Homo-oligomer: A and B are copies of this chain.
Amino acid sequence: MFDQFRERFPMLNHKWDEYISYYNRIEVPAKTVLLKEGDVSHKAFFIEKGCLRAWFNNNEKDITFQFAFENEILSGAESFRKSIPSFFTIETIEPSVLHWIHKKDLDKIVEETSQIPEMKDNMLNAAFDRQYHYMKHFLSFIRDTPEQRYLNLIKESPHIVRRVPQQYIATYLGITPVSLSRIRNRLTK
């Protein structure tokens, strides 16, 4: 875990063991709620094994807008960053092995490591990349039909199509599960 960071920032090597000790390993079954809509997010989750989804309630139906898999980190985003209520829920899709860290510990690490300018550059680049990712994702909604979006997803993120139940994929694509089923039916012909 965190090997890529050790390599990139060897000057912090003596500190990494301390930092890693802040993380708590947990094993949870599928459909476990890790953050509830309306609560303040205090934890960030690193996924060792399994997958998660972020969703929010809209007219009594849930809409999934993000998935996360192995080696990815998921938190309450704005809720985690600013300690405000989260507008979405985080839940496991598969039984998962996670490592969570408390915000106050992560803040301490960020505080200490920010002495190193490369660390901030690193965060800045990550922020830009995420921004670009959202932009591209958003553009596909303007540009493509639901059918094209589904075909894109198969091509660009086959792991999502493989591992995530269809109903979640449907709302992720901005359509109903019934409509996605029809699209799939059309495509086989």
Contact = CB atoms under 8 A, between A and B. Distances in A.
Interface of A: 58, 63, 65, 77-78, 81, 114, 117, 120, 123-124, 127-128, 130-132, 134-135, 137-139, 141-143, 171-172, 174
Chief secondary structure at chain A's binding surface: helix
Given A58-B143, A65-B138, A138-B141, 11 more contacts: A65-B139, A77-B135, A117-B120, A120-B120, A123-B124, A124-B127, A127-B131, A134-B135, A134-B138, A142-B171, A142-B174
Contacts of A138: 65, 134, 137-138, 141
Contacts of A137: 138
A134 B66 CA distance: 14
A151 to B, nearest CB: 15
